[in-house]
């Protein structure tokens, strides 16, 4: 078997292998989500929490409290930025966070 | 090669097959919601696609696991910037893997440009002289994958990057030379030494 054929075949074989290591850590997913939302928030207000809820997305307990505030700036802010769930989720693979509809909690389960 | 082409996804191997040729209506709705800055859509975007991007990047950047998470994050931030121009001519996974491919190639390019003196063959981990590998060694793909990963970890970074770029990314020698500012001869020499070192370790393990 020539070198070229050996390495070509090896690449094909090894690319076909799947494994548990192919799943992104929940910690990384948390970082990605935080980075995306921070990037969007830096460029202007996020979709408001009432609009998010109206689109069929359930809110976490903290977002639920904020979404009734009659202030457009507040309902469009990013409360995850100051939430301890974010900090824990970005640094630990199985953090002690359990709130329903929190994206950081959902990343642990998926 | 533009990142959105299906060949980029093809080169990503198994993960590329997760994607349909074009985004489904569900995917399109998700992308529209992300563009509308819906935070829950951003979470779903990450949950849906992070595994595929991570699997691809982590395989291509082995043994430099320390770079993987930063590269994956770069991929998602670039995707967010380009989302409005995504024409939907490929699957979302294929599109993301195309971006990932460019990011991985940035790393390969940097490794091959580093003034990192390569060891003489005598300095490489001891092993028997290279011989033609037995085909049976390739039958068990999972074992081959693990063995390959271990060998790539032991090789100098320029060797592992050159092999991964040439054979796993299917990049031509000419293009590797153009992207690194080296001559094709220099790339061929590098690849020859990398192949020899790899095969010695393959046979020895």
Provide CATH code, domain B116-204.
Answer: 1.10.10.10
- pLDDT category, B22, cuts 50, 70, 90? confident
Same CATH topology for B6-112 and B116-204: the answer is no
Q: What is the pLDDT of residue B131?
A: 46
- Span B47-61, pLDDT tens digits: 999 999 999 999 898
pTM of the model: 0.80
Confidence band of B126 (pLDDT split at 50, 70, 90) = very low
CA distance A104 to chain B (A): 9
Phi, psi of A16 (to 5 degrees): -85, -5
Residue B10 has pLDDT above 50, yes or no: no
**What is the rounded average pLDDT of the residues B141-161?**
88
Interface mutation vs chain A, best among B29, B30, B40, B132, most A CBs within 10 Å: B40
Instruction: Report residue A18's pLDDT band, with 50, 70 and 90 as the boundaries.
Output: low
Closest CA to A85 of A25, A40, A27: A27
pLDDT of B119: 58
Facing B167 at nearest CB: one of A11, A17, A21: A11
* A63-67, B60-64, B117-121, B150-154: range with lowest mean pLDDT: B117-121
Contact B46 A6 (CB under 8 A): no
Q: Mutation test of the interface with chain B: which of A13, A62, A100, choosing the one with the most B Cβ atoms within 10 A?
A: A13
The CATH code for residues B6-112 is 1.10.1740.10
Average pLDDT over residues B24-30: 88
CA distance to partner chain A, nearest, from residue B20 (Å): 18
Domain boundaries, chain B: 6-112, 116-204
Q: For residues B44 and A33, give the distance between their C-alpha atoms in angstroms, rounded to a whole number.
A: 9
Percent of chain B with pLDDT over 90: 57
B45, pLDDT greater than 70: yes
Query: pLDDT tens digit string along B79-91?
Result: 999 999 997 888 9
> CA A60, CA A101: separation in Å to the nearest integer?
5
Asked whether residue B6 carries a pLDDT value surpassing 80, the answer given is no
One DSSP character per residue, B68-131 reads HHHHHHHHHHHHHHHGGG---SS-HHHHHHHHHHHHHHHHHHHHHHS--PPPPGGGSPP-PPP-
B58 → chain A, closest CA residue = A22
* Structure confidence by residue, pLDDT tens digits, A91-103: 998 899 998 999 9
């Amino acid at each position: 078997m020539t070198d070229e054929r050996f390495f070509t075949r090896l690449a094909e074989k090894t690319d076909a292998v799947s494994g548990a290591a192919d799943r992104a850590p929940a910690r990384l997913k948390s970082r990605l989500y935080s980075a995306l939302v921070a990037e969007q928030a830096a460029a202007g207000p996020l979709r408001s929490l009432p609009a998010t809820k109206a689109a069929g997305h359930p809110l976490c307990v903290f977002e639920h409290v904020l979404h009734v505030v009659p202030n457009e700036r507040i309902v469009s802010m990013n409360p995850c930025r100051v939430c301890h769930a974010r900090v824990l989720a970005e640094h630990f693979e199985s953090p002690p966070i359990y709130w329903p509809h929190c994206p950081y909690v959902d990343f642990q389960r998926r | 090669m533009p990142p959105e082409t299906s060949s980029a996804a093809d080169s990503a191997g198994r993960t590329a097959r997760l994607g349909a040729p074009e985004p489904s209506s569900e995917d399109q709705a998700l992308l529209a919601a992300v563009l509308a800055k819906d935070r829950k859509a951003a979470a779903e975007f990450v949950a849906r696609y992070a595994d595929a991007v991570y699997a691809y990047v982590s395989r291509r950047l082995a043994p430099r696991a320390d770079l993987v998470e930063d590269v994956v994050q770069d991929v998602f931030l670039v995707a967010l910037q380009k989302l409005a121009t995504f024409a939907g001519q490929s699957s979302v996974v294929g599109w993301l893997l195309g971006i990932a491919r460019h990011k991985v190639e940035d790393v390969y390019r940097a490794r091959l440009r580093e003034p990192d003196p390569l060891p003489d063959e005598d300095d490489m981990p001891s092993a028997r002289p290279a011989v033609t590998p037995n085909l049976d060694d390739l039958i068990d793909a999972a074992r081959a994958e693990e063995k390959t990963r271990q060998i790539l970890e032991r090789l100098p970074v320029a060797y592992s990057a050159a092999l991964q770029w040439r054979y796993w990314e299917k990049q031509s020698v000419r293009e590797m030379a153009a992207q690194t500012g080296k001559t094709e001869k220099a790339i061929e020499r590098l690849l020859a030494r990398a192949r020899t070192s790899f095969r010695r370790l393959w046979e020895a393990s």
